[in-house]
Chains A and B, each alone.
Chain A
Amino acid sequence: MQEAMKIYFELNGEQRYVEIEPGESLLSLLRRLGMKSVKSGCETGDCGACTVLLNGRAVRSCTTFAAQVRGKRVTTLEGLGDVDDPHPLQEAFVEAGAVQCGFCTPGMILVAYELLSKNGAPTPQEVRAAISGNLCRCTGYVKIVDAVLLAAQWKREGKWR
């Protein structure tokens, strides 16, 4: 048996020093730490429900080892905003009707966040391409694309904080 080890990393802006199990996935670690927005839909890297940002880039936490985030910055949906102070993307998802069951929503918002941080005026096709690795079975994606475009518009209008 390998020894459990401890790592430092930054989680939603806070330094954490935590024990991780040998071979533990980032998904498992984050959920253990209470980040329940990180969802498990397949654990084979195919659905995107477990998406988090690693140094600002969207990654699948189910196929990322916890050990890989040592010294890095991890953002989960909890790090973007909460109900009393939501992020505009979170608002946009509600406004556009993009949330049905909400199980894909955390991952969708995080990939959208990454997209909009690089491209403030995406076309619908660019949005579709950006979210194409994240599956949603409820919405047919129509309103998710609307939501991302709406958030982008708000960003251009200077409504993001």
Chain B
Amino acid sequence: MALEGKVVGRNVRKVDGLALACGRPKFTLDLDLPGALVGKILRSPYAHARILRIDTSRAEAVPGVACILHHGNVDRVPYTTAGQGWPEPSPYDNFLFDRKVRFVGDRVAAVAAETEEAAREALRLIEVDYEVLPAVLSPEEALAAGAPAIHDEDDAEGIYDAQHNIAAAVDIPVGDIERGFAESDVIVEASCEIPYSQHVALEPHCVIAYFDEDGRLVLRTSTQVPFHVRRIVARVVGLPMEKIRVVKPRIGGGFGSKQEVILEPVAAALALRAGRPVVMALDRAEVFTATRTRHPMRVRVKLGAKKDGTLHAIEMEALSNTGAYGAHSLTVLSNTGSKTLPLYNKAPHLWFHGKAVYTNLPVAGAYRGYGATQGYFALEVAMDMLAERLGMDPIELRLVNHIRAGETSPIFEKIGEGREGKPQTVKSCALEECLRVGAEKIGWREKRARRRREGSWAYGVGMSVSMQGSGITGIDMAAATIMMNENGSFRLLVGATDIGTGSDTVLAQIAAEVLGVPVERISVYSSDTDFTPFDTGAYASSTTYVSGMAVLRAARKVREAILEVAAGMLAEPPEDLELAEERVTSKKTGKSVTLSEVGHRATYVVDQRHIIASASFVPEESPPPFAAFFCEVAVDTETGVVRVERFVAAADCGVAIHPKLAAGQLEGAIVQGIGHALSEELLFSEKGRCTNANLFDYRIPSALDVPALEVVLVDSEEPSGPLGAKSIAEVGINGPLPAISNAIYHAVGVRLTRAPFTPARVLAALRG
């Protein structure tokens, strides 16, 4: 353990754990609001159509209908649903309601009514005449000459090339790629594809919009980004920001899907029009088709290497499908390169280029891994191919090439979040140790050398590595406020958004460590735009690192204030005092006062003041966590069924503030990745309608689908992070796709490059 703290590095009780385990009403919809209307959305049956006429007169006559909104009766404001920093890097190509619909499930109108039945009846009675347009159902069709332009509106902003359906494009050359390949001894190329997959946070998107006693609009919502919700809703409904309060209660998972401001503007507009509270909850089918998905992507990686395995040239080309709207289109695409290429920093010649294109399919957005997952699939399969060509062990090939502490990559500076990045030197990297530990646990050497076969089942092992970041350099900002109660307990207020990750606990630990108290003495509150300081939100693996630094700074200020008061009480200078175990003690005399005594004195007695401090933090770098993944698979050569028998991951997240929560993040991410590899894919009809938008046909792993899974946290200490920490939330999801693909290759000698690796695909590959 790099840092053996009193609180940090220990598995303290998750601060909200017991209340959640007791089913306390902590989620968005657990609040009953008498008199609330039910909001429902009318969705497009067509993938691409113009709305010629919309008649709501029959629907409005339904008893209990309060209001109906559509393009004809709301302001037209271009915006993006992507909850990101400002200025927003995603194009303004959304409208609350538009004259055009761009995918099956796109919004046509919204109803607020007294009951769900009345709302549904009204939806049924809204008459819409459509002019059906030719639909674009793949990125290739989108780019084809003469393809219909999906965004032909003239008031969208920030689209790279609307006429050609290109939402965003990147082209980042480093060195001279052609020379790089010419000078290489060995060249391999892999092209891998990830389809539409969905986050499947167990709690569907939902929101309650109501008015407080002063008439301000309150949005209680299942979001990862309360402050972005406030900004975007203000823009869309035309309210000044200060008239909106966004409350984030407990959230039933997000994984990126709730980094999108999808439902809140609709609920806000309905509530404002009706002058009444409105509750909106999506059903599971709507979550699948009309929230957000991972960006389906085809990534081609070409590697050039010297005989000794040193990479000399890397080309990565990505074709991303952003669906009907460009949420996160540029930034996910950028991250495909920026979160992968620095890992192999030995190659002087790089070229990362790609496009994100519109199609008439569901809208892609942020999803854990955020482009890196797509990039690593191709990169790590290509590395496996390269190892084979060189006759090298795949682990050895990684050891020769991966970045080390003290090293940098030009990519850090070249690719940022929708703009240029910043130079960065990696300060902590324990990937070597991760590789060693993981290989040992899976029994790499023996299993790699001897391929097992039992009847029709062939066994193999494979591996991959990945890195991610910790927050967004120069863009993220987090703030925290800590106030001391007179009895020596504390209140920690953070805009940071615990969406189930346990970040409230981690942040409380950081504060507790500095303030010399157990976590129980700190009550955490997150997040509420009226009462907690700003935080960009829970995304980009930022909370522990970015928000953690804000908490650390605020805690240090509070500590100073405590020592100052205690100095007066003990008649000694603050430098000679120590804060631990709820007391301030003189290092010289051993005399001490309790925090409660300090609190009472400051609050009521002498030189009165509230011991309270706020601090902000903006990351100047984004230290990558690293991980190595190993798995053993069994492939049934008769049926094509792939079983993941064992999965081992070793990760370096710096100091794990709460090892159990960190391990839980890793386990959850890996199992999502296994789902991507084996079963998860949204399917569409030739008209663009999703045909498996339910949890029976879209299979996420159940407890019986999970292999023996072992995760190891390898110590390192990140000097730029709070008490040595960096991130852990995303890095785990990048490993399974390539590791499983590589293991299948080891088992049966065929490369699976299109996810998921269903029995049909495996059989097709086996039969050549």
Contacts and interface: CB of A to CB of B under 8 A. Distances in A.
Given A43-B283, A44-B694, A94-B21, A141 B703 contact: yes
Contact of B252 (A44, A101, A127): A101
A101 B703 contact: no
B203 A143 contact: no
B25 interface: yes
Contacts of A99: 14, 17, 20-21
B667 interface: yes
Contact of A131 (B283, B663, B703): B703
Contacts of A109: 21
Contacts of B263: none
A90 B21 contact: yes
Interface stretch (A3-11, A74-82, A153-161): A74-82
B715 to A, nearest CB: 19
A8 B281 CA distance: 30
B24 A138 contact: no
A37 B25 CA distance: 7
Contact of A138 (B19, B500, B695): B500
A137 interface: yes
Nearest to A45: B696
A132 B247 CA distance: 34
Nearest to A92: B21
Most chain A beta-carbon contacts within 10 A, residue among B22, B32, B672, B701: B22
Chain A interface: which size bin?
35 or more
A97 B11 contact: yes
A1 to B, nearest CB: 10
B13 to A, nearest CB: 6
Contact of B703 (A46, A78, A132): A132
A100 B201 contact: no
B255 interface: yes
Given A86-B22, A140-B671, A132 B252 contact: no
B87 interface: no
B203 A97 contact: no
Interface string B3-38: 000000001011011111111111101101000000
Contacts of B256: none
B253 A101 contact: yes
A77 B23 contact: yes
Interface string A123-151: 00001110111111111111111000000
Interface in B606-627: none
B664 A103 contact: no
A24 B30 CA distance: 19
A78 B23 contact: yes
Contact of A42 (B14, B20, B284, B663): B284
Interface in A78-112: 78, 80-83, 86, 90-91, 93-94, 97, 99-106, 109
A46 B704 contact: no
B21 A47 contact: no
Contacts of B201: 101, 103, 137
A49 interface: yes
Contact of A132 (B30, B667, B704): B704
Contacts of B704: 128-129, 132
B702 A132 contact: yes
Given A100-B500, A138-B668, A139-B667, A42 B22 contact: no
B252 A142 contact: no
Contacts of A83: 18-19, 22, 24
Contacts of A46: 284, 694-696
Given A104-B202, A132-B702, A140-B706, A37 B23 contact: yes
Given A105-B20, A140-B671, A39 B660 contact: no
Contacts of B695: 41-42, 44, 46-47, 135
A31 B560 CA distance: 48
A137 B21 CA distance: 16
B202 A135 contact: yes
B221 to A, nearest CB: 15
Most chain A beta-carbon contacts within 10 A, residue among B11, B695, B700: B695
A139 B668 contact: yes
Contacts of A137: 199-202, 253, 255, 668, 672, 700
- Classify the secondary structure of B's interface with A: loop
B13 A39 contact: no
Contacts of B19: 83
Contacts of B251: 101
A16 interface: no
A82 B22 CA distance: 5
A101 B499 contact: yes
B700 A102 contact: no
Contact of A41 (B26, B284, B668, B670): B284
B187 to A, nearest CB: 37
Nearest to A110: B23
B204 interface: yes
B502 interface: yes
Chain B interface: which size bin?
35 or more
Contacts of A44: 284, 694-696
A36 B702 CA distance: 24
A42 B694 contact: yes
Nearest to B116: A28
A135 B671 contact: no
Interface in B646-678: 660-661, 663-664, 667-672
Contacts of A142: 664, 667, 706, 709
B250 A100 contact: no
Contacts of B30: 36
Contacts of B696: 44, 46
B501 interface: yes
Nearest to A79: B23
Contact of B660 (A42, A106, A143): A143
Contacts of B664: 97, 100, 138-140, 142-143
A93 B24 CA distance: 15
A117 B5 CA distance: 40
Given A135-B700, A137-B668, A140-B709, A43 B25 contact: no
A94 B500 contact: no
A37 B502 CA distance: 19
Interface in A24-83: 34-44, 46-47, 49, 76-78, 80-83
Interface in B486-511: 499-502
A124 B409 CA distance: 45
A101 B203 contact: yes
A47 to B, nearest CB: 5
Contacts of A105: 20-21, 23
B702 A133 contact: yes
Nearest to A109: B21
Contact of A100 (B26, B281, B668, B702): B668
Contact of A102 (B200, B252, B283, B667): B252
Contacts of A134: 703
Contacts of B709: 140, 142
Contacts of B21: 86, 90-91, 93-94, 99, 102, 105, 109
Contacts of A86: 18, 21-22
A40 B252 CA distance: 11
Given A82-B22, A135-B695, A141 B706 contact: yes
A127 B20 CA distance: 21
A99 B663 CA distance: 13
A41 B204 contact: yes
A97 B703 CA distance: 16
Contacts of B502: 100
16 contacts: A34-B25, A37-B24, A41-B203, A41-B284, A86-B18, A86-B21, A91-B21, A94-B13, A94-B14, A94-B18, A128-B704, A131-B703, A135-B695, A136-B703, A141-B706, A142-B706
The 5 closest A-B pairs by CB, nearest first: A37-B23, A101-B500, A102-B20, A103-B252, A140-B671
Given A44-B694, A46-B695, A141-B702, 10 more contacts: A41-B203, A77-B22, A83-B24, A97-B661, A99-B21, A101-B500, A128-B706, A135-B700, A139-B667, A140-B671
